[in-house]
Structure 1
Amino acid sequence: MSTATFSPSTGLTWTVLRLHRLALGVWVAYVALTGTLLLWLWGPGSSGWHITGKCVAGVMNACTATGPGALTYTNLLGLSTSLITLVPAIAAAFAGGTLIGRELERGTAALAWTQSVSPARWLAAKLAAPAAFLVVGTGLLVALRRLVASRASDLPDNQWFTDGVYGSLGATAVALPLLGLALGALVAFVARRVIASICVSLALTGIVVTALGALRGRFWTTSTVTGDVHQGYRGFTGLLLDEGAVTASGARVADPLCRADTSCLTRHDVTGFYREFQPASHFWPLQLVETGILLGLTALAVTAVFALLRRNRRI
């Protein structure tokens, strides 16, 4: 890196963009290609097929797409969802590697700080520029993904409570990459090695995603449907959280798995069955709560990064 790389006269933001122009070009291409795929799915890709079968509440695969191009549509729909949900990992790896980790490992960050650029301004520019592109790019992809989902909302792959789909249809898809970026920067300041930073950043981002998935159903008030021993488990539309048997006292117990055996049900005091779930209408409340959690964690991570920066400058 030349001594003029971080000259204040050229603007820190412009300098960061120029320094990481390859990564910026890859990101723009990533968004453009994924966006083109989504537009195809919304338009030509959805022509020539129709949804068949009665869409039964509580049965994930009750609706299917048939006709010419249906299989291609389904496969590419899954691909587009994966491309959106991969963005947090991409952000974490980029921040832990090229954006921050490489600068610290090579010592070029310290060089920049000697050229009338304060460490705090350097770090702020390093994080703000990619964060802006992440928000704009991911926000565009989420908008297009929702457009595709509205075209065939009965398909399982377009319903938010289907595994893997939730993270591509709402605000969490925009907030999670910001957390990945912050975690990558934080790990880079701790590890100060590119490979280690990338690996740990990816691991931490995966832990956050897994934890949120496990806790998501409890972020908002749940609903319950019950049926007697003749009705069994009643159908519903939404995210299943728990199910089992109900006793005469109203207690919830594990299903004894003997619904057809009256004597077995009597022996276990089973009078019905229940299902606890998040209804489909709770999508946005869940999204807003989870987005708030993600932004809070992002703020904490960024605060920790600046604290480490100040401590390192004093050493």
Structure 2
Amino acid sequence: MSTLSLSPRSGLTWTVLRLHRGSLWLWTAYVVLLAGVLLWAWGPGVSDLGIVGGCDPGVANVCTAKGSTADSFHYAVSFADTFLSLLPLAVAVFAGGALLGSELEKGTAQLAWTQSVSPARWLTTKLALPALALVTGTALLVVLRRQVAAAAPGLSQSQWYAGSFEVLGPTAVALPLLGLACGALMALVHRRSLRGAGFGLALTAALTAAAGLLRPHLWPTEIRVGTVAQNYLRFTGEITSEGAVTASGAHIADPMCVGKSACIAEHHVTGYYREGHPPSHFWPLQLVEAGLLLALTAVIVFIAYRILRRSVAA
């Protein structure tokens, strides 16, 4: 059978699976461990949380859990969130090092290209198999994480604007794919496992941070304006900015004039505003950001293929 075959029991696919079987087992263990932690949090973890306070799904930190499972629940969710957040970086290191960088450095990739395996097919298989595993495993974990959030909606760990945005939607699936693409690109650029892993990690971290900074601007915000007497109106969701409103309608930094008529008159303050994203903006923000991340991933993969083609032709 031709080495170009993508049959799971022969050819290039089987070779890649066999070569990276240790990484596959590690990924399986990762998914099973986090799934077990989230299943516990979803079931026994919420059974005796002992919620105290007036829980409001739209407001962070208005209620707390004081029951026998409260501490364990918080540790379990924090553990899962941390490992999900670090996944894109770990994938970038793997892709830049063991997946591609090591073979390019040792020359085994070039050897495969001389044995009827085209460079493009080699790279496609190298990226497609990890991508499939990442999408399948991460999607499962996101579904479980959302079930945990739905079971305890009043707690801050269940509210996306309280710091859990990246683990509650399709963005969590798109980010590891970005890490895979960044690691692959850096491996092809540097052709060294350590450099590929290191630069892949750095590029992924930079792009992930940039996505977080860009996020508030991906969807139109809403503004709540209150009079001087009302002060700041309650805003449910993620607040992106707040301050005072002048007679001309301009938004300025709060001059801290509460109860000071002279100060209010001096700064021409007529009210106060809060601007941000209400809870209903979760899915628009998630879908737009995930779409942008996938588009960026596609661009990086395209560049990787171009670099591969040029290196082979050189």
Tell whether the structures are fold-level matches, with TM greater than 0.5: yes
User: Match of 1:50?
Assistant: 50
RMSD of aligned Cα (Å) = 1.6
Shift of 1:55: 3.7
Shift of 1:50: 2.6
1:81-230 matches, cutoff 5 A: 81-163=81-163, 165-230=164-229
| SS, match of residue 161 in structure 2 | coil
CA distance in 2, matches of 1:84, 1:74: 15
Report Cα offsets for 1:241-261 as digits up to 9, x if no partner: 110000112110110022122
User: Match of 1:303?
Assistant: 302
Shift of 1:150: 0.4
| SS, match of residue 243 in structure 1 | strand
Shift of 1:204: 1.1
Matched, 1:238 2:237: yes
Length-normalised TM-score, structure 2: 0.95
CA distance in 2, matches of 1:258, 1:246: 12
CA distance in 1, matches of 2:4, 2:274: 61
User: Match of 1:3?
Assistant: none
CA distance in 2, matches of 1:57, 1:262: 37
Q: More deviation in 66-75 or 180-189?
A: 66-75
1:67-86 matches, cutoff 5 A: 67-86=67-86
Residues 22 and 70 of structure 1: is their aligned pair in 2 closer, same or farther, counting only changes over 3 Å? Answer: same
Shift of 1:60: 2.6
Contact 2:57–2:159 at 8 Å: present in 1 too? no
| SS, match of residue 286 in structure 1 | helix
Length-normalised TM-score, structure 1: 0.95
Shift of 1:34: 0.2
For 1:187, give the aligned amino acid: M
Residue segments in structure 1 that go unaligned for 5+ positions in a row: 1-5
Q: More deviation in 46-55 or 12-21?
A: 46-55
| SS, match of residue 195 in structure 1 | helix
Report Cα offsets for 1:194-233 as digits up to 9, x if no partner: 1121111111111111111111111111111111112211
CA distance in 2, matches of 1:154, 1:49: 11
Contact 2:182–2:204 at 8 Å: present in 1 too? yes
Shift of 1:56: 6.1
Contact 1:59–1:235 at 8 Å: present in 2 too? no
Contact 2:60–2:154 at 8 Å: present in 1 too? no
1:284-299 matches, cutoff 5 A: 284-299=283-298
For 2:235, give the aligned amino acid: F
User: Match of 1:257?
Assistant: 256
For 1:71, give the aligned amino acid: D
| SS, match of residue 162 in structure 2 | coil
Contact 1:57–1:236 at 8 Å: present in 2 too? no
For 1:232, give the aligned amino acid: N
Contact 1:58–1:236 at 8 Å: present in 2 too? no
Q: Which runs of 4+ in 1 moved over 6 A?
A: none
Contact 2:88–2:176 at 8 Å: present in 1 too? yes
Residues 89 and 116 of structure 1: is their aligned pair in 2 closer, same or farther, counting only changes over 3 Å? Answer: same
Residues 48 and 193 of structure 1: is their aligned pair in 2 closer, same or farther, counting only changes over 3 Å? Answer: same
Residues 153 and 59 of structure 1: is their aligned pair in 2 closer, same or farther, counting only changes over 3 Å? Answer: closer
Shift of 1:59: 5.3
CA distance in 2, matches of 1:136, 1:57: 29
CA distance in 2, matches of 1:226, 1:51: 32
Contact 2:57–2:153 at 8 Å: present in 1 too? no
For 1:261, give the aligned amino acid: K
| SS, match of residue 241 in structure 2 | strand
